[in-house]
Structure 1
Amino acid sequence: MTIADPVVAEYSKAAERYDEKWAFYLEATTRETLRRMPMGPAARVLDVGCGTGELLRRLRAKYPDAALAGLDPVAEMLDVAREKLSGREDLRIGYADSLPWPAASFDVLVSCNMFHYITHPVEALKEMARVIRPGGALVLTDWCDDYLACRLCNLYLRLTNRAFYKTYREAECFSLLRRAGFSAVRLERYKISWLWGLM
């Protein structure tokens, strides 16, 4: 199991009001992630750590013929996702290090705001690579520890939040991706507010 059980405990309670509580953050991170996704009209896309399905909802609106799938360990978050989606999405409970799909199932694998919960990142990245078709793409969005505010949040959350694992600097993330077998790696740092620095 890649994401520790405290994540399930925390987000099962937060699911009902998650979208409302994090509205600005969700809008900004999903918008920036979508801008970086190489999408075709009928792309096969997996969202790992899909949560309440906000990224999938926006993908469905823009690409009605896409084959969309989502994975999350929290049943309550997936319940919220099902309420907002079309019913054609393949939503499953699971963890990033054991994806319940065959090899080369997806053109694009995306993960937004989830990587800081993964306790064995190289293993999870290798599993993500397994389900991406040759020539496909992995698009990750997460907090970037190169920004001071994120570094302070990282230190605080590692001390106080059992669900949280770690955020990474750009160089660390590059190394993890290369160790997992990704050869063409492009990283981009950017801010969505004075606090949140992403890559």
Structure 2
Amino acid sequence: MASVTPHSPDPVLEEYKRLAADYDRRWSFYVEASVQETLARFSVSAEDRILDVGCGTGVLLSRLCGRVPPERLCGLDLCPEMLAVARSRLNKGVLVRTGCAEEIPFEDETFTVVVSTNAFHYFLDAERALREMLRVLRSGGRLVITDWCDDYAACKICVRVLRLWSCTPIRIYGRQDCADLLENAGVQAVRVDRYRVGWVWGLMTAVGTKA
């Protein structure tokens, strides 16, 4: 998914602009698998109001359509080209907006679920992004974050290569560091699951509740 930071390095945003039209085909296995793993770790109902931060081409939102009314689904991403693909695949009732995780353009306590998949490693200020996610989340709402996991050697190598190749300040966390980060932000009942997608990608999904 595209980076959702307000001051993203140009190479990151430019890369996602270039990839947008072909992104789903190129990354279909990884995206579908990581979205499936994410959705398996939290339940939704027709009464939920859900924000996908770093929604990219809208794959996760498309999987929620039919389970949640489209007008109760929202997506946020920094890359207009990725959002154009999302709009083409999603029900017209789904709201998708250009914006970043550190300055989420919604009112306080708007959502019952805030989810972010495959974007957190691009957030330059993770603490601020978490504060924003919690700000727009209602009391008792669920925060769900899926991202690369630093506990896997293959992910460590991939991050080093990407930093050198794109000069991008990517940061990934291990399971315990992720749990600590969320708990320090005030998230309660944090559970972090680790798993593999293919032979390269070691991921984790963190689920917690706002007090």
TM-score (norm 1): 0.95
2:87 equivalent to 1:62: no
Equivalent in 121, 125, 130 of residue 120 of structure 1? 125
CA distance in 1, matches of 2:44, 2:191: 17
Deviation at 1:161?
2.0
Contact (CA 8 Å) 1:38, 1:108: kept in 2 or not? no
* 14, 22, 26: which one aligns with 2:31: 26
Alpha-carbon distance in structure 2 between the residues aligned to 1:2 and 1:178 = 26
Match of 1:11 in 2: 16
SS of the aligned residue for 1:62 comes to coil
* Unaligned residue ranges in structure 2 (runs of 5+): 1-5, 205-211
Identify which range, 118-127 or 168-177, moves more after superposition.
168-177
Alignment counterpart, residue 179 of structure 1, candidates 176, 184, 190: 184
CA offset digits 1:96-122 (Å, max 9, x no partner): 000000011000000000011111101
Deviations 1:30-49 (A, max 9, x none): 11111112311231000000
Q: Within 5 Å, which residues of 2 pair with 1:1-199?
A: 1=6, 3-64=8-69, 67-163=72-168, 165-199=170-204
Q: Which digits, 9 at most, give the CA deviation of each residue in 1:48-73, with x for residues without a partner? A: 00000011111113334660000000
What percentage of residue pairs aligned between the two structures are identical? 47
Q: Secondary structure at the match of 1:165?
A: coil
Normalised by the length of structure 2, the TM-score is 0.89
The C-alpha deviation readout for 1:103-146, integer Å capped at 9, x for no partner, is: 11000000000011111101100110000100000110011110
Q: 5+ unaligned residues in a row in structure 1: which ranges? A: none
Query: Which range moved further: 175-184 or 127-136?
Result: 175-184
Structure 1: which 4+ aligned runs deviate by more than 6 Å?
none
Match of 1:171, SS?
helix
User: How far is 1:22 from its partner?
Assistant: 0.3
Q: Secondary structure at the match of 2:114?
A: strand
Structure 1 match to 2:209:
none
Equivalent position SS for 1:98: coil
